[in-house]
Amino acid sequence: MCGRYSIYLPADEVGSRFDVRVGEEYGPHYNAAPSQRLPVVTNHDPDRLSHYEWGFRPDWADSRIINARTETLQKKFGEQADRRRCLVLADGYYEWADLGDGKRPYRITRADGEPFAMAGVWEPYEPETTQTGLGAFGAGEGDGTNGEPDARFTILTTEANAFQSTYHHRMPVVLASDGERRWLAEPDESLLTPYDGEMDAYPVSKRVNSPANDDPDLVDPV
């Protein structure tokens, strides 16, 4: 499960780490939440940082899907996996767990503190139109901020590794650095495995419970 995460790396470091052009829309997210426009790198435009909404609703679903299980990826999201893949950029994600002192949020990172990419898939969508004061209809006319297409993404999840299992039985697919561009190039499901590198975790403020809170204090240990 992955319902919140963070990405607050400076823009120039995002560009160099993920080898992409970074535009003006990029900014820090200490509490990235579903429905927000968040930074991704797509297979359709792998040299540029895009911003898509987190969570899309397939035809068979009643609500937006923010996580997609790798075990049923081809069955439920086969078209997206084959044609529309992305990297979801992060430097940590949050899990809520009770380790004996009540349920509270923990921030999970790579042990070396380096940013990483979670595997995702994406889907274009037509925004709802609204009546304007001039009698015309429009809601961005099919374009996101800065002329980007309107699109939404979901994060792929897999079974937890030994470290993650303390906090949850599922985890996002954290790609190895050398697997990031491979995921964009082809739907190689051998990449969609539990992360085998060292990880770290620490408790953070319960203020992260509310997506309205988005400030640097949220990533500090408590």
pLDDT digits (tens, 9 = 90+) for 143-182: 455 556 689 999 999 999 999 999 999 999 999 999 999 9
Q: How many domains is the chain built from?
A: 1
Tokens standing for 159?
A: 């079974």
Range of the domain at 65: 5-219
Q: What is the CATH number of the domain that holds 42?
A: 3.90.1680.10
pLDDT at 114 over 80: yes
What pLDDT, on a 0 to 100 scale, did the predictor assign at position 21? 98
pLDDT digits (tens, 9 = 90+) for 22-51: 999 999 999 999 999 999 999 999 999 999
The Cα-based distances of 195 to 7, 99, 162 in angstroms read: 18, 22, 10
Number of neighbouring beta carbons within 10 Å of residue 159: 14
What pLDDT, on a 0 to 100 scale, did the predictor assign at position 140? 36
Band the pLDDT of 129: cuts 50, 70, 90: low
What pLDDT, on a 0 to 100 scale, did the predictor assign at position 137? 32
Give bridge partners of residue 51 from the DSSP assignment. Answer: 39
Active-site residue list: 2, 95
Look at residues 86, 85, 89, 108 and name the one whose alpha carbon lies nearest to residue 28.
Answer: 89
The helix/strand/coil state of 86 is: strand
